[in-house]
Amino acid sequence: GWKEAINTTIINFNNEKMQITWAARELFPGENVSFSYTFDGGKHKVWKPCPTYLLDQDYNSGCLFKTEGPTLAISIRNSNGSEELFSKILKSDFYIKPNRPENVTFFWKADTVTVSCNKPERALTCLRLELQYKSKFDKEWQSRTSKCCSVGEQGFDPRKCYSFRVRLKRLVPYCNVVNYSSDWEAETFWRNGTLLDSCDDDIKSQSNTVIVLSCLLAVLLMMLTLLILLCKWQRLQKSVMPAIPDPKYIFADLFNEHNGNFQEWIDKTHHAVVQTKLEYEEQECIIEAESQQEDKNSDKQGPQEKIFTFSGAAENNDPKSAQIACLMPTSNAIPSFAGFQILMNDDMYVML
């Protein structure tokens, strides 16, 4: 019973080579055991010694030999072969690990990828073809399994670069007692039906685009910030240090017409101011000391100066007897009046 409880690892490489391994140091400490096998099923078995040992720190920990039949018997003995430490009979066909798929081809049409490989010579019904793929934006592999030896998948983006890998699997438990798969075929890189050396260029292009956009955004933000600061600085400068007016622009005619000759410029300017005052000089009002009245028949005469008499302060400083007379031009279009007299009584003016 103890001999059957020893754990061993059994692999039949594509029904061509057998590999049996055991934990030598844990199972048989201090003893370098021997291994023998046979594919004979009869009573008269012919045991063969292990042709190639696998070592673990100079201890025999496994054996590699050729597959010669479906039924295998193994035996592990002590170093001199006098005592059997472990024995087992098994079906070698239930421990097959297939080889990697051969002549793998890819067919890319629109968003569908179909992968196929050569058909193995034997045990075709026990094999499945597994396809795994991912883009550089996927964290995990996506898997798809189909009958040997073709598998297809849809939904691929022609703008992305994908990594593909395939392998063969044995069906469990109908064909194998252990879930063995082949090693992965060499990884390939595709984009829209074109075989690439790697997808690193795809990552670099994406990274370069992101870097360029980030730099442009940073530059725009810096320019906007500087513009805002400049506007605020100009406002602060104007409020703290007002600009001193340039006399060149205030006295443009002094520099342009008189070449800076101040005396010539001031004389001309003074003459222009005097002329302006004369042109817009208003008519004088004459303050008379005596009271006058208009001629009642003045409306029959032609254009003349009319005298309006106002009651005011006289020369004798009498506020009620003073008169103010203003000479105003008249014309026939303006009706004449007998006379206007404004009497000033205390603080009130009355027009008569």
Averaged confidence pLDDT in the chain: 76
Q: Indicate the residue type of 100.
A: R
Q: Is the pLDDT of residue 294 over 50?
A: no
> In this predicted model, what pLDDT tens digit does every residue of 39-84 receive, in sequence order?
987 777 889 999 999 998 888 999 999 999 999 999 999 888 888 8
| Cα 283 to Cα 335: distance, rounded to the nearest angstrom | 21
Query: What letter does residue 285 receive in the DSSP assignment?
Result: E
pLDDT at res. 266? 75
pTM for the structure as a whole: 0.55
Measuring CA to CA, which residue among 63, 57, 52 is closest to residue 22? 63
| Cα 215 to Cα 220: distance, rounded to the nearest angstrom | 9
pLDDT at res. 207? 59
Measuring CA to CA, which residue among 116, 112, 101, 114 is closest to residue 158? 112
pLDDT (average), residues 222-242: 78
From the number of C-beta atoms within 10 Å of its C-beta (0-12, 13-18, 19+), residue 275 rates as: exposed
pLDDT at res. 202? 58
**Domain 8-97 shares a fold with domain 105-196:** yes
Q: Residue 300 corresponds to which tokens in the numbers above?
A: 């029959």
Q: Domain coordinates of the chain in residue numbers? A: 8-97, 105-196
Pair type for strands 162-170 and 150-153:
unpaired
pLDDT at res. 283? 52
Q: Is the pLDDT of residue 164 over 90?
A: yes
Q: What is the DSSP string of 40-53?
A: --SSS---EE-SEE
Neighbours of 67 (CB within 10 A): 18
Residue with tokens 């000391």: 289
pLDDT at res. 292? 47
pLDDT at res. 30? 80
334 pLDDT band, cuts 50/70/90, is very low
Pick the CATH number of 8-97 from 2.60.40.10, 2.40.160.20, 3.40.640.10, 3.30.413.10: 2.60.40.10
Q: Provide the sign of the torsion angle of the four alpha carbons 189, 195, 198, 200, taken in this order.
A: negative
- Which range is least confidently modeled, 194-198, 277-281, 304-308? 304-308
CATH topology of domain 105-196: Immunoglobulin-like (2.60.40)
> In this predicted model, what pLDDT tens digit does every residue of 301-316 receive, in sequence order?
444 444 444 444 444 4
Show Cβ contacts of residue 196 under 8 Å, excluding neighbours closer than 6 positions. 161, 189, 190
Phi, psi of 238 (to 5 degrees): -65, -35
> In this predicted model, what pLDDT tens digit does every residue of 117-149 receive, in sequence order?
999 888 889 999 999 999 988 889 999 999 988
235 pLDDT band, cuts 50/70/90, is confident
Neighbours of 133 (CB within 10 A): 21
